[in-house]
Amino acid sequence: MARTISLSFSLDPQSHHHHHHHHPPPYSTTLYKPHQTPFLAPKHTNPLLASNKSSRYNLTLSFSSSHPSSPTSSSSTLQDSVRSGRFFTAEELKKLQFLENFRYYQELRSGSMWVRVMKENEIDMTVGLLSESFAESMLLPMAYVNLLGFLVKQYLIERRTLIPHTVTLIGFYRGEDEGDEELAATAELCFNKRGANASPPTPTPPKESPYICNMTVKKPLRRKGIGWHLLKASEELISHMSYSRDVFLHCRMIDAVPFNMYIKAGYGIVKTDSILIWLTLQRRKHLMWKKLPMLDSPSESDVSDPTDKIPS
């Protein structure tokens, strides 16, 4: 059953997270990836060596789309995705397998974190994280928070129908003195034109290029380096999933700390919203760009043993 969501508005928080580091934390990075040849880059593999990002993320969600979807959407595993009835090319099947196996692990001073692709049964908790983040920044009453959660869920379900051209990542955190992990962060990645949002924020990024958006870190877990490494994981995955090395994202002009972090991460301003954007009740934003490095081999990044026990 096709669904059309045409609300044609953006949720643009006026003040988001405040848990940023001015400099990259001196943590040791361990990248956990399946031992298989990357399937996209013609001659090179481009794992990202170092990147940083503040956790005051652009949380502009556009709910204007017309992609068909089903009640269950894409499923959490390759096998279930194939059973969904959608036709996948051989290249898409390889991408699905890579996404299913992708893990990024990071030791932090206060614990550890890992990042992977969101599964279907994790949509609700991801919706909760995004909705709480919006509500905090927009000071919405509870009635509107519930509506916001409904809209965000419809958005995530619909976006899952476009896997492997776009994907939602989720990050988990475990403190040094805690036994259980908890959902800590999320980010959405668009790898190509087929995965691009039908109505992206302005200034409009190129649809054919990778785009990072809707990143947030749970409030009690800020200032631990989680957001920093969520961006690093995002760029690492993009380097394997897209031919293009040109990555775009948005940053609001009022967010000085994340802007400085983007600059230190290698992003530069491409274009800035006109002041007339205020007429739409939105904050002015920079469209920022970075070219991921081309590396001859993945040896410049640490790859952990696939037998290491990383939560699935």
Q: How far apart are CA 298 and CA 22, in angstroms?
A: 28
Kindly tell me the burial class for residue 142, based on how many C-beta atoms sit within 10 Å of its own C-beta (0-12, 13-18, 19 or more).
Answer: exposed
Give me the pLDDT at residue 259, please: 85
Q: Pick from 182, 183, 156, 174: which is nearest to 76 by CA?
A: 156
The whole-angstrom separation of Cα 117 and Cα 281 is 33
Q: pLDDT value at position 63?
A: 39
The larger pLDDT score, comparing residue 195 to residue 147, is at 195
pLDDT band at 295 (very low <50, low <70, confident <90, very high): low
304 pLDDT band, cuts 50/70/90, is: very low
Residue 6 pLDDT > 80? no
- Annotation says 57 is catalytic: no
Supply the mean pLDDT for the chain.
Answer: 74
* Mean pLDDT, residues 207-213: 96
Domain definitions of the chain by residue range: 20-41+49-244
Tell how strand 182-190 and strand 5-11 pair up. unpaired
Residue 130 has pLDDT above 60, yes or no: yes
32, 155, 262, 267: which one is catalytic?
262
Confidence at residue 27, expressed as pLDDT on a 0 to 100 scale:
36
In this prediction, residue 205 carries a pLDDT of 96
Q: Is the pLDDT of residue 48 over 60?
A: no
Mean pLDDT is lowest, of 18-32, 203-217, 271-285, for 18-32
Arithmetic mean of pLDDT, 184-189 = 97
**pLDDT bracket for residue 131 (50, 70, 90):** very high
- Residue 84 has what pLDDT? 59
The share of the chain scoring above pLDDT 70, in percent, equals 67
What does the angle CA 180 – CA 30 – CA 117 come to, to the nearest 5 degrees?
A: 60
What is the pLDDT at residue 90? 93
Which position has the higher pLDDT, 265 or 22?
Answer: 265
Out of 24-28, 109-113, 228-232, 244-248, pick the least confident. 24-28
Residue 35: pLDDT over 80: no
pLDDT over threshold 60, residue 64: no
**Separation CA 231–CA 46 (nearest Å):** 15
Mean pLDDT on 268-286: 89
Contacts of 26 (CB under 8 A, 6+ apart): none
pLDDT at 257 (0 to 100): 73
pLDDT of amino acid 83: 52
What are 87-121's pLDDT values in tens digits? 889 999 999 999 999 999 999 999 999 999 999 99
More confident residue, 19 or 78: 78
- The domain 20-41+49-244 is placed in CATH, from the list 3.90.550.10, 3.40.50.300, 3.40.630.30, 3.90.960.10, at 3.40.630.30
Q: Which of 38-42, 55-59, 120-124 has the highest mean pLDDT?
A: 120-124
Nearest to 16 by CA among 274, 272, 283, 266: 283
> Looking at the DSSP assignment, which residues form a beta bridge with residue 183?
172
Question: How far apart, in Å, are the Cα atoms of 225 and each of 25, 103, 113, 234?
Answer: 7, 17, 9, 14
28-42, 128-142, 169-183, 256-270, range with greatest mean pLDDT: 169-183
